[in-house]
Structure formats: C-alpha cells, structure tokens
Structure 1
Amino acid sequence: MSKIQAIRGMNDILPTETPTWQYVEQVTQALVQSYGYREIRFPVLEQSQLFKRSIGEVTDIVEKEMYSFADRNGDELSLRPEGTAGCVRAAEQHGLLYNQQQRLWYRGPMFRHERPQKGRYRQFHQVGIESFGMAGPDIDAEIILISVALWRELGLSKNVRLEINNIGTAADRRAFGAALTAFLQQHEADLDEDSQRRLLSNPLRVLDSKVPATQALLVNAPSLVEYVSPETVAHYDQLKKLLRANDVDFVENPRLVRGLDYYNNMVFEWITDELGAQGTVCAGGRYDSLVSQLGGRGTPAVGLAFGMERLVLLLETIGQVPDSVNQVLDVYLLASDAAVADQVLKLAEELRARLPDVRLMSHCGGGKFNSQLKKAYNSGARVAVIVDTPPDTGEQTVRVRQLDEEGSSEAVTLQNLDAALLKALAQTSAPA
C-alpha cells in the first residue's frame, strides 16, 4: 500500500524549522501588543460571497485561486485566501466597528490554489494588522511604522525597501481605468496573455504585470497620478511628511496598485532583492469602503499583512536567524543506574516546579549509562543532571555535568541542586 503524502503546496513545518517560526511569532506578538493592538481570531472557512464582494470577482484570487465548494446544505463556502475580509466580517458581526476605533491583529493559515514555488504555497501563514475608525494619515503612518519596527527587531532593515503610491478613490480609478483601457487596446496584441484577459475586466491589474515586454509598453501609458482627487493627494502628502519626520525612507512607485479591489488612497509594499521573483514580503494600504461593501456603515480602515513563509525564508537566506533560536533545551536528566531510573521523572517534575524558566528533559526508555549520556549530548542541552545510587549512609547527591568537551562535573546534594544548576547554566551561557 502506497504512503499518503501531503497535498502539493501544503507543507509540513518540522521540529527543526518551528523554532524560527516561533521566534518570528514571538517578536511579532510582542511588537503589535506594544502598539496597543489586540488579537482577533476568525474561521478559516467563510461564505464564498464574502471574498467575491471584498476582493473583487474579476481578480485572480476569486477567478482562479480560491478553494471553494458547496457543502451538504448547498451553501457556497471558501477557505480564506486572505485575512482582511474575514477580520472585517467578524468585527462588524460582533459590533466592534460602528462609532468605535479598533486596533486588531491576527495570524493563521490562508489558502490559494496557485502554482507552488519557493516562497509561494497553496497553504501559507499570514499575519495581519488592521485598524478601524481613523481616517487621518497618522494611522497610516503608524501601520507602516509597525512594519519598520518589525524589520528592526528581526535585523532586516537593510534588506527591505518601502514603496508607496496614492491610488485615489474608486471614482478616480474608474476614470483612470477608462483612459488606461483605451491606451492598452491600442497595444493589445503586444500584451502578455494574463494582461489581455485583464484588459476589460480589471485594467489596473495590468500595471502589476511582471512580464518585461508589458512593463515596457506601460512606460508611455497614462499615469494614475493625473487622475487622483485633491483630497487624496493632501492625505498622501501628509503621510509622506509623517514618514520623513520619523526617518522612514521610501520610494514612490506610480505603478503600484495592489491586487485587491478594496484598496483606496494609500497603498504600500515592502520589497526585498534577496528572494528573486518573490520579492514582496509585506504589503497593505487603506480600504475605507470595505466595511460598507460588506453591509456595515462606512468605516475608515487601513492595514497590512505579511506571509510567514516568505519572512522565514528571508531570514534564513541572509543568515539572520539568531543562534539562540535553536537552543531549545537547557538541562537533560538521566540516571547512572537502572535502580534509580524511577527517581529521574520525579526529580524533573520537582525542578520544573521550582525553576519554571529552565527548559528540562528527562531521559526515558532506559539504556546503559553511556548510551544515556550520548543522548544528553545529542539533545542540545547545556547541562546534565545525573542521579546516582544513594549511599548506604549520608545524604543523597546528584552530579551536575557540563555538556561540553571537558565534561566537568560537580556532586551536589538535592538541597543545593537548584543553586548549582543555575550556576552551571550561567557558566555555560546560551548562544548569542
């Protein structure tokens, strides 16, 4: 019988990989909480109409990439392809938005049926940060500053660059879209296949084409900046002023439009040159009309999202994962003789209760002493605690042994074990 394999593009994250994921998750959680953002959790499965109304029925995501099906009741359901729509649905349904300001964040798996490649998968994990009820450019700047702080915390500031653009209102984009369509129709035969398909359904997405020949044609295309309203220009100019005041470098990219229909006004992307074609590591913008599109009252909103897979890949590619991330164990407990093996588990539980910050593993499965000691060395722990056979007379002792090349050890009483263990760990510090 053949073995069952994981679905293509839906990857296992193995124990050797999860420490880096946990590191990024912990840094992210601490950071967003320091800005006053609260976590929200919502289902991975939603009504398909939620994404059709928010993302846009003529986007690649809805047309080609969603995992959609009819359930036993005949309801059309989809695995979430992104997080913003579900976040808005949940917040609106539970009364969190009207006449309120909310700062929310979430994390979890998303699903898109596209061709898997390095940094792009069918199940991917995303962190999103969203704010509601604030219309000014100051909250736009805050969202971007959170990402700036994240790159600083992860040591990525020199490996990413910020691109921003003002895409105006929906009415601005309709006017621009008409002019862009008229221009592209004159060159339709020279467009790539995807751009030809988008020409009449969603012409702004042609601007996002990665095909060099199409990009060369767009050099002479109408510019969105010629169509944006004075109000959005004023908002955008104030945002740039706030970014400069906070020493945030950025590049204005007039071709940046983002791939989701709900964006308006300010949009941005963080780009890296370290990952080839998968260069966008974080993106976001304003989406002031989305709440009303989904049946709520008009609510200004802005947010960002980044994919965990791509961020982890970037950290690994440039060697920016701290050595300490992979140090997952401090102490390994073992017995010098089978006669005292049952004491190992009991002592381990006692130490965990008294020293909760110490990461401790007790040996299980028996075996000769040398075999146990070899496992202690292979475990990655820095110190071993060896339970010895009690003497006929006198006080019970254990050995605290450094798990290095010298393997020096010290016999201590159980009463003095905690202090001796902490001293040994301090002497054998974890990797920086």
Structure 2
Amino acid sequence: MIIPLTGSLLRQSTENLERNLCFWILLAFISVMLIASHGGYRASQPSALRKQTGLAINCFYATSITMLSLAVLMGYPHILARPWTAADLIVTPFILSGFRTVLAERLTASSHEERASSSVIVCYDHCPQGLAQALNELQISSRIAGVLYLSPRHVLDSLPNWAEVPDIQALLKMIRAKNVQDIIFVHHPALDTIAATLHQELFSDLLAYPARIWMAFDIASNLPELLKSQSGSCKIVPIVTNSMVSSLNVTKRAFDLILALGLLVLVSPVLLISACLIKMSSPGPFIFRQTRTGAQGQQFTVLKFRTMTYDPDRPFAQAQRQDPRVTVIGHFLRRTSLDELLQLINVIKGDMSLVGPRPHAPETKVEGITFENALRLYRLRHRVKPGITGLAQIRGQRGETRALSVLEQRLASDIEYIQSWSVWLDIFIIIQTLPTLLMQTNAW
C-alpha cells in the first residue's frame, strides 16, 4: 500500500484521494484473504514458509491485475497512477520475499529453541510403551530431562534413555534449571488412593511454573493389536496449556514495559513530592524495601514509599486499622495507594507486571498459617508475575487478611484473571483501578 498511496498523495487531487485510499486498502485486504484461503499463513516450519513465498507473490499479482482491470472498466482510470502502480507491481514481490525470508530465519531460531527445550514425566511405577510416539504426535519435546517415579517399587522402562529423578525436590530444581516447557503426568489408579495427597501437592507446585501440563493414559489393554499399530497405545490430553497466561508471555511483557515507562515519566513529579514529604515528616529513608514472592515462587525486593516509622529491627506484621506505626503522610499514601507507584520500577526491571495477583511477603499468615500452606492452589498465583493492581483489587479485595475465607475470595479472583487474561482485560483493570482507589474504605 505504501508505494501507490504515496503516488496518490503526490500526484492526485484531494477529491480522488479518498477513493484511492479505499481502493488500495481493499486490494491489500483481498490479497491477504486470497493468500490465507490457499494456506499461505499456515506454515510453521521455515522450509514450508519459503515454498509459500511464490504463492503469496502469485496471489498479489492476481489480485492487483484483477482490481486494476476492474477500476479501468468501471470508469476510474485516475486510480491508475501508472508510474507508481508499475513500481508497486515490481517492488512489492521483493518486499514479500524479503519479509518471509526474515520470518523463516526467525522460525528456524525458534525451532532450534524448541528442540533445546525439554519435558519431564511424572508417573507411578512405569511409563507407557507408546509414550514417546504420543509425544511426537502432539509435537511435545521428546527430549526428556527426567522421569520421577512416585512408587518405590517401579520398573525402569526399556524406553529411550530417560534419566530417573530421585525425588520431588530434585524434580522442582530441574524444572527451574532447565528449559522445561512440558510436564507429563502418567495416569495410574494408585495415584487416586495411595499417593493422592502427594500427587495433589506436587501438581499444585508444578502449576506455579510457566509450563504446559499434560495427562497421559495407557490404553494398550483396551485396544486390539491392529488399532495399536495405527493409533498408538498411549493418549495424551491437555490439562494446562498456553491458554493460561504465564510470566513468559511476550505480549504482556511488551504491554507492561511500554506503559510502565510512560507512566513513570508522567508521575515523576508525584514521586518527587512524595519522597520530599516522607523525608520531612519522619527520619529514615523514603524508600521501603521488602522481600516478596514473585513468579515461580522466586523472591524479589519490592519497592514502596515508606509509610511507617523507621525501625529496621521491627518484626513483620500486617498493617491494621489505626496502626500506630503508620505516619500521617504514610496514612495518606496508603489510603490513595500512592506508596505503590515506585513499583513501576519493579515492572520495568521485570520482577512485576502492571496487572496481576498482588505479591505477598513469604511470612504473611492467615489464621496462623502462611498463605502458601493455607490453600492448596495458592501457588497457581505464581504462574504469572505479581501486579501493582489486579482483578481482586478492583473488586475491593484488599487490606488485612484476617480470615481464610477472605484469602479464598482473593485467590478465586486471581485464578479467574490467569484463566481469562487478555490485553483488554489488563486495560479494563487499569482503568477501573483509579475510581476503586478513590472509593475504597479497607486500606489503612
């Protein structure tokens, strides 16, 4: 569109500009639809993408010639800015070819990265014989980092050379250290009885990692030999796939980075005034640093404006209503949540996101139990980076957590956010945050 539209702007009168604009947009749209109808955007491999370059060029020529011919026949010869049209027909195929070549190189690099990724398997006492074939059919990495057997009496399978993982802690350490993108649970009836508690705790731990989770079923005993050879003796079904947002989501990270940088510049005067007021109101640093739990359960240092009297030796305790530790300016900052603005720096560093579950200190408790141990699915919150605001916050679910039921409500909102994330949801939450802060009554 760039070449003909430039020609239209330079050579055509204003009255023809709108028609030209509509014409070339329609031509581009029909070209894209024609390429799509012939499978021109279905390539997932570099070799296939290169082969489809010719298809894209042919579709472009077919659409251009047809549309330009119709324009002349219908009495709109002014659309044909002939030098620019000729340049478009000559240059655009080279642009298409160059773009698809670059994209093929990106796909090649991506495919190398996928091959470098690995999977882990969790089973009771053995792995199904058809598991390797099932992994290949679903394009799950067959590079197995390790297999964890939950039964002490297990069979070392005569499958590919898959290393045995000694225990759950070693498995979790392996997932952190290696590029594990898929976790496969092998179903076994004993998992629902003998190892039920262990199985559920392990599953909760693994939910915190940005990996896909699958369940494999050994159906060999229920299939005749003929069907086994055709369809395989092992079937894998998805449990947690890429439909759940994770801390590795590139779109969410780009959104966070662009908006956080803009907001940081916009609110810089507020940050400066707040820092001065804190220094003037009470002795001590104006920045408060605290360890919080972030993505995949990793701890990081969160930044906030100091809102309490400075006492580095004071033990941790949640803020309460009319808390004597809170200063006068600190009460205002907490009431308006201005003390959280410094976390824009955490967002830019990559420790946090603009929107997500609020980060909690590891020692935070409810009814005498730490958050991590109070609810089994609490660790699912760690699948994404913690946020400055979130779905729970715009619903008024903030402040002191006195009862387990309150934590359950917050967790339900956090899980709902993880399951239904989109950029539009983030925008909606950010827009709703300001009126929620103005109307809130449970922040102190």
User: Does TM, normalized by the shorter one, top 0.5?
Assistant: no
Q: By percentage of residues, which structure has more helix?
A: 2
Which structure ranks higher in relative contact order (CA pairs < 8 Å, sequence separation ≥ 6)?
1
> TM-score scaled to structure 2, two decimals?
0.20
> TM-score scaled to structure 1, two decimals?
0.20
Q: By percentage of residues, which structure has more strand?
A: 1
